[in-house]
Amino acid sequence: MKTEKKTIIANWKTNPKTYSEAVTLAAGYPESSDSIDIVICPPPVFQMVPLLDTTARGAQDVHSEKNATGGWSAEQLSSIGVTHCIVGHSERRALGETNQSVNEKIRLLLAHSIVPIVCVGELERDDTMEYIQFLINQIHETFSGISRTELESVIVAYEPVWAIGATSTRPCSAQECREIILLIQRELIQITGNLPIGKITTVYGGSVNAENAREYITVGGCDGLLIGRASLDATTMNSLVQNSITYP
Ligand code: PGA
């Protein structure tokens, strides 16, 4: 049985080490298909790496300030064929990104018809469940004033910070993922009024690999995945995509 169309987003972060490795990596990726959209977000310095015709080009951030030395604008991204852009990743929030600046970036990207991939997620899980209130505040501030129609062009990525990267203490279970995906949908419905639930696209990111990918989609209830480390190996990405599209 096939799932509904899913989106698999590769976040290469500051990898790979050389441009020629980036070319080889992108060329070995699986194709997008009727079941899966593949989006590659290379580092800015390798943004012009050739991609397969069916692969969407994404960015890892955008800058809202004018004349920000070292930055790049939504207009520039659009002019080189970038169709998606991650904003609010925890690694950028750790460098000073706020809910307010993410909100501004969402608007800028939408104004240039680029799909914002908006990351939200708690830093840690506490027994007293304060992380739930943290998430609710983060979602409300990040999406403040974003309309129902605009939200239909956004991908929301649930990325629990404690489950991301090599320092992660344990993976987020698919059930834990599902609970927060439902929370995100509930809060976004509150922000925008009666948005039909099927219109909010959510993906999960944090220690996803070829083995656990399927569970985040089937049990976790996501429309796709945001992949860090596992996206740096083309063979792994082929298995991951294969595992994500077909299940009993
Ligand atoms: P990871 O990173 O898959 O290496 O945990 C995910 C991310 O940071 O988006």
- Span 3-35, pLDDT tens digits: 489 999 999 999 999 999 999 999 999 999 999
pLDDT per residue over 31-77, tens digit each? Answer: 999 999 999 999 999 999 999 999 999 999 999 878 889 999 999 99
Q: Which amino acid is at 243?
A: N
Q: Is 88 in the pocket of ligand 1 (CB under 6 A)?
A: no
In sequence order, the 6+-apart residues with CB closer than 8 A to the CB of 72 are: 44, 59, 62, 63
Cα–Cα dist 89/87, whole Å = 6
Q: What is the pLDDT of residue 247?
A: 53
Q: Name the pTM for this structure.
A: 0.96
Model confidence at 191: pLDDT above 50: yes
Element (H, E) at 242: helix 234-245
Q: What is the sign, positive or negative, of the torsion defined by CA atoms of 139, 141, 142, 145? A: positive
168 CA to centre of ligand 1 in angstroms: 10
Give 205's pLDDT tier (boundaries 50, 70, 90): very high
Q: Which of 164, 167, 229 to mutate to test the pocket of ligand 1 (most atoms within 8 A of CB)?
A: 164
Query: Which burial class, exposed, middle or buried, applies to 102 when counting CB atoms under 10 A from its CB (0-12, 13-18, 19+)?
Result: buried
Q: Which ligand 1 atom is nearest residue 91's CA? A: 8
Q: Is 39 in the pocket of ligand 1 (CB under 6 A)?
A: no
Q: What is the pLDDT of residue 110?
A: 98
Model confidence at 1: pLDDT above 70: no
Tokens read off for 75: 């207009």
Annotated catalytic residues are 89, 159
pLDDT per residue over 118-169, tens digit each? Answer: 999 999 999 999 999 999 999 999 999 999 889 999 999 999 999 999 888 8
Cα–Cα dist 55/136, whole Å = 33
The SS3 assignment for 193 reads coil
Percent of the chain with pLDDT strictly greater than 90? 88
Q: What are phi and psi of 67, to 5 degrees?
A: 50, 45
- Whose tokens are 């169709």? That residue is 83
Rounded to 10 degrees, what is the CA torsion of 240, 242, 243, 246? 150
Tokens read off for 66: 């004018």
Cβ 41 vs Cβ 10: under 8 Å: yes
